[in-house]
Amino acid sequence: MSTMKTNRFTPAQITEAAALLKAGEVVAFPTETVYGLGAIATDPKAVAKVFAAKHRPADNPLIVTVATTAMVAEYATITPAAQQLMTVFWPGPLTIILPVLPGRLPAVVTGGLSTAAFRLPASAVTRDLIAATGVPIVGPSANLSTKPSATKAEHVLHDFDGVIAGVVDAGPTPVGVESTVIDMTVTPPAILRPGKLGPADLEPIIGPVQADHHHVAAGETPKAPGMKYKHYAPAAQVVIVDAPADWPAALAWAKASGTAYGVLASPAILATVPSGVPTYALGGDIQAATHNLFAGLRWFDLHPSVSLVLAQAYPATGLGAAYMNRLDKSAGGRHFAQEQA
Ligand code: TXA
Ligand code: MG
């Protein structure tokens, strides 16, 4: 049992938050994608607290969050193609994996790998916080391992109140899903995690990229260690409804199953759901759906009587690829169409 008080800071109180970080404490911070769990990246004891708080396996390395490209050069080799990505897309929701310079980052950050992931967020609050500490901070998503990422300070406190020293609250994070992760240490470069920036954005700058974020089979070694773990899962079972025309059948199937169910979908679909069924509105388009996805999954955790959630699919192109990647993981790959087979 921890007796630590979790301070809630406004963006105007960056100095106080930075002081806690410099004292070796864990402080959550906003980015344009999701909230991150911060600790000074060069302080192994502070970084160990992040793993402990998240219940994160030690072989799953952390992102190193920086305020300037110059900070990256102190810890890693910036290849010419990586430099082009930084010039075009930073600050922004792109995490770049680079070869590390030996001995500069604690092994606890990299999970013992010879590479590390670097990110320079678009959020000025994040960059101000790092500038105030003067050194990079680790920034895994600020959720308990296996749970949906946090897009609001309330989500962070739900998972970590009394466990971490503070959270900087800048309101809901605009994008709603984590950054695109691209591995620049392989040829062609590999997208390990889809995000707002996809091949259509990256390939004009660096040429062909490969997608390497397929479902990782048991026993297989994934490129991004985090990909092998269960992810984004609320307590209820999520089942994806792919085709808009399937909703009447899916609602009938859920009702016939006899389990208490809820629906996570756009207002247009929610208008067809029987009254009394708990619902969470994703918003009218893919941007709004992505922005609301994790908040919706977490909302159903606060309604523990619901044990089945029907969730709306979107076409897996552009931002939709990132949305469907997260939703598919939260559902453990379960789709309504396959329930019928
Ligand atoms: O948008 C984001 O990226 C958020 C915000 C807070 O910045 N952070 C985030 O961190 O999503 P995290 O730790 O939840 O996800 C980082 C992913 C994990 O899947 C991890 O395994 C992978 O990046 N990763 C980190 N270092 C790596 C490396 N050296 N090689 C391959 N994958 C790596
Ligand atoms: Mg995460």
Q: Show which of 191, 206, 221 is a domain's final residue.
A: 206
CA 258 / ligand 1 centre spacing (Å): 39
Q: Is residue 225 part of a domain?
A: no
Residues 48 and 183 in one domain: yes
Protein residue whose Cα sits closest to atom 10 of ligand 1: 140
pLDDT tens-place values along the chain, 341 residues long: 456 899 999 999 999 999 999 999 999 999 999 999 999 999 999 999 999 999 999 999 999 999 999 999 999 999 999 999 999 999 999 999 999 999 999 999 999 999 999 999 999 999 999 999 999 999 999 999 999 999 999 999 999 999 999 999 999 999 999 999 999 999 999 999 999 999 999 999 999 999 987 555 445 555 666 655 567 888 899 999 999 999 999 999 999 999 999 999 999 999 999 999 999 999 999 999 999 999 999 999 888 789 999 999 999 999 999 999 999 999 999 999 998 76
Which ligand is located closest to the Cα atom of residue 182? 1
Annotated binding site for L-threonine: 33, 119, 179
**Whether residue 180 is found in the same domain as residue 265:** no
Q: Are 285 and 268 in contact (CB under 8 A)?
A: no
Same domain, 68 and 194: yes
Q: Tens digits of per-residue pLDDT, 114-155?
A: 999 999 999 999 999 999 999 999 999 999 999 999 999 999
Q: Which ligand is nearest to the CA of 50?
A: 1
**CATH number for the domain harbouring residue 147:** 3.90.870.10
Q: Name the residue type at position 82.
A: A
Cβ–Cβ under 8 Å, residues 335 and 240: yes
Q: What is the domain range of residue 191?
A: 7-206
Is 95 touching ligand 1 by the criterion CB < 6 Å? yes
Whether 214 is in a domain gets the answer: no
Does a structural domain hold residue 213?
Answer: no
**Residue 67 backbone class (left: φ over 0; alpha: ψ -120 to 50; beta: rest):** alpha
Last residue of a domain, one of 206, 222, 255: 206
Atom number in ligand 1 closest to CA 175: 1
Same structural domain for residues 150 and 196?
Answer: yes
- Which atom of ligand 1 sits closest to the CA of residue 178? 1
- Residue 110 CA, closest ligand 1 atom number: 29
Query: Is residue 181 domain-shared with residue 241, that is, in the same domain?
Result: no
26 CB near ligand 1 (under 6 Å): no
Q: Residue 23 domain-assigned?
A: yes
> Does any domain span residue 227?
no
Nearest CA-CA partner of 82 in 92, 91, 95: 95
What is the whole-number distance in angstroms between the Cα of residue 34 and the centre of ligand 2? 9
Same-domain pairing of 128 and 185: yes
SS3 content of the chain, % helix, strand, coil (to 5): 35, 20, 45
Say yes or no: 200 and 283 in one domain: no
Residues 13 and 158 occupy one common structural domain: yes
CATH number of the domain bearing residue 300: 3.40.50.11030
Which of 77, 181, 196 to probe ligand 1 with, by most ligand atoms within 8 A of CB? 181
* Nearest atom of ligand 1 to the alpha carbon of 117: 26
CA of 119 to the centre of ligand 1 (A): 9
- Say how many Å lie between the CA of residue 224 and the centre of ligand 1: 8
The domain total for the chain is 2
**Helix 80-89 with 199-206: angle, nearest 10 deg:** 130
My answer on whether 198 and 312 are in the same domain is no
Contact 22, 51 (CB under 8 A): no
* Residue 175 sits in the same domain as residue 287: no
Are both 187 and 304 inside the same structural domain? no
Task: Tell me: do 294 and 183 sit in the same domain.
Answer: no
Counting ligands in written order, the one closest to the CA of 36 is: 1
Residue 269 lies in a domain: yes
Structural domain includes residue 1: no
Tell which of 206, 225, 247 closes a domain: 206
Indicate whether 92 belongs to any domain.
yes
Closest by CA position to 74, among listed 30, 36, 41: 41
The 10s digit of each residue's pLDDT in 75-111 is 999 999 999 999 999 999 999 999 999 999 999 999 9
**Residues in Cβ contact with 243 at an 8 Å cutoff, skipping those fewer than 6 apart:** 313, 337
